[in-house]
Amino acid sequence: MHRNNQWAASLVLAVVGAGFYAAPSYALSIVPVTHGVATGEIGADSALIWSRTDRKAVMHVRIIGKRGGGNQHRQVGVTSERDFTGKIRVDGLEPDTPYRYKVWFDDDKNKKQFRSEKMEGIFRTAPTPVTSKAVTFAWGGDVAGQNVCRDAQEGFPIFAAINRMKLDFFIGLGDMIYADNTCSAIGRYGNTQVPGDFQQAATLQDFWAHWKYNREETHYQTLLRNTPYYSIWDDHEVVNDFGPLHDTRNNPPYTPDTHLLPLGLQAFLDYNPVEENASTPKRLYRNVRWGKHVEMFILDTRQYRDANSAKDSAQQPKTMLGREQLVWFKEKLKASAATWKFVVSSVPMSIPTGFPAELGRDGWANHKQDTGFEQELMDILQFMRSENMRNVVWLTTDVHFAEVFRYTPFAEHPSFRIHEVVTGPLNAGLFPNRIFDTTLGAEQLFFYGPEAPVVSYAEAKPWMNFGLARINAKGELILSINNVLGEPVYTLTLPP
């Protein structure tokens, strides 16, 4: 007998055995864990657990350590204001230690009118900064854009490949939804898809609907359940090429002069396992240390930027990061003793972006215009050089093809070099483009994108890709671009 039926039967027997019978005033009902579970913000002694149900409830998390020890139980209420999503932070964990966790929902600890089944996952805490240990992680962006959505048979097939990688963590590097796109029954490349029950996001409910559609995919749920996930946004979490000065649209379904950034940001916070600090509640930029060899600097390239159309000059340099984030970034870089410093930037360094072009550049590069954010990038690179920083790698996405660059930005300092690995899309339209800005002394090491127009889903799939980084215990770094099957199509080995 199912344990829920056993519980109900036991209640009836107890009442009858007492010499009378009265039907209970309620029946225990089972509610769903609607969109899986996720772990994020994993540190050496802490973790953040995310989940969702479909009604006002109490979310419970139980952490189980090695050999069943170190149990912890936490709970938090979930309400319609956050679309019944919840996040729970767990502290006091041991470094570099595997944990299991269970998530479930009920009405409260006394009434027990409803409850969910328990959903389980796993994670491993980060090693301490002095621990020399091998690290493997992956990253990527661009999911369900340009009507390349959940295939009716395969879902998002690339996540199945990523799940076979045995990662320490994964970075969702932006455009993990396309809030300004829709998903129809027939995809861009002619395949049958799971249609999305949403329009272009103009309300908070619309934004939530886009997140729910992507999070319903099985392979994606498996990744989030069993792999620590670090998330950041790019433009399509709100609307194409947005910033705080250009986040409105006048065409339906949008309402003129209604700012979309606050809505998209709230939905992002609701549906991602990212910390919300009371003193800085909307701040997304942060640094993550993972053992001796890895430190990530996750940048918010959206929330603080100047207008894309503004001019960028030495006399009046633009900012993408904003003054506070830029100061923070430099301080954290200078303080880092990690062997490898990974700069997580949702927009690329030298590939020109921004559409249409007359509205200004959206990424760092100017490329035949004066509307990029090149002055701020050069200032960052000058700072790195002045501090004699080595082993710096930029991880970027946004352009829907893969490319690897080596930069020597200062001719008078040829020993100062950095690398950029551009990946994508995970599952979206393909837009190969071999143009790049040469200001930084760029050397193209690899390009991965179709040379001819793609017309079928079978042709498109092989070009979907993600990045993979493997650092051994001695600090040697192997970077690769991997295709939809998880096979490396390019590998670059860098000594520490």
For 137-169, the pLDDT digits (tens) are 999 999 999 999 999 999 999 999 999 999 999
Task: Count Cβ atoms within 10 A of the Cβ of residue 225 and give its class: 0-12 exposed, 13-18 middle, 19 or more buried.
Answer: buried
Q: Is residue 327 assigned to a domain? A: yes
Between strands 340-344 and 392-396, the pairing is: parallel
Of 124, 147, 173, which residue is a domain's last? 124
- Counting the structural domains of the chain, the total is 3
95 plus 171 within the same structural domain: no
- Residues 66 and 151 occupy one common structural domain: no
Backbone CA torsion sign across 267, 230, 285, 351: negative
Supply the mean pLDDT for the chain.
93
Task: Go through the chain and tell me how many residues it has.
Answer: 496
Cα distance between residue 229 and residue 38, in whole Å: 7
Q: Which two tokens stand for residue 67?
A: 């050999």
Q: Is 129 part of any domain?
A: no
60 with 203, same domain? Answer: no
d(CA 146, CA 429): 5
Range of the domain at 71: 32-124
Q: Are residues 432 and 325 in the same domain?
A: yes
Q: Which residues contact 267 (CB under 8 A, 6 or more apart)?
A: 179, 201, 204, 207, 208, 210, 211, 237
DSSP for 84-96 reads TEEEEEE--PPTT
- Same domain? For 37 and 183 the reply is no
Beta strand pairing call for 286-290 and 294-298: antiparallel
Answer yes or no: do 42 and 172 share one domain. no
Q: What is the mean pLDDT of each run of 10 residues along the chain (496 residues)?
A: 38 32 58 97 97 97 81 95 98 95 88 89 97 98 98 98 97 98 98 98 98 98 98 98 97 96 98 94 97 98 98 96 98 98 98 93 95 98 97 98 98 97 98 96 98 96 98 98 98 97
pLDDT for position 2: 40
Tell me whether strands 169-172 and 135-140 are parallel, antiparallel or unpaired.
parallel
Pair 60, 174 in one domain: no
The verdict on 46 and 91 lying in the same domain is yes
Residue 130 counted as domain residue: no
Residues 140 and 93 both lie in one domain: no
Task: Decide: 177 and 193 in contact? Cβ < 8 Å.
Answer: no
The two structure tokens encoding residue 103:
């998530």
The answer to whether the CB of 111 falls within 8 A of the CB of 394 is no
Nearest of 58, 52, 37, 59 to residue 123 by alpha carbon: 37
pTM: 0.93
Cis peptide before 356 (omega within 30 of 0): yes
Residues 37, 159 share a domain? no
CATH code where residue 65 lies = 2.60.40.380
* CA-wise closest residue to 136 among 171, 101, 99, 173: 171
The amino acid at residue 382 is Q
Report the distance separating Cα 205 and Cα 405, nearest Å. 40
| Spatial separation of the C-alpha atoms in residues 149 and 178, rounded to whole Å | 10
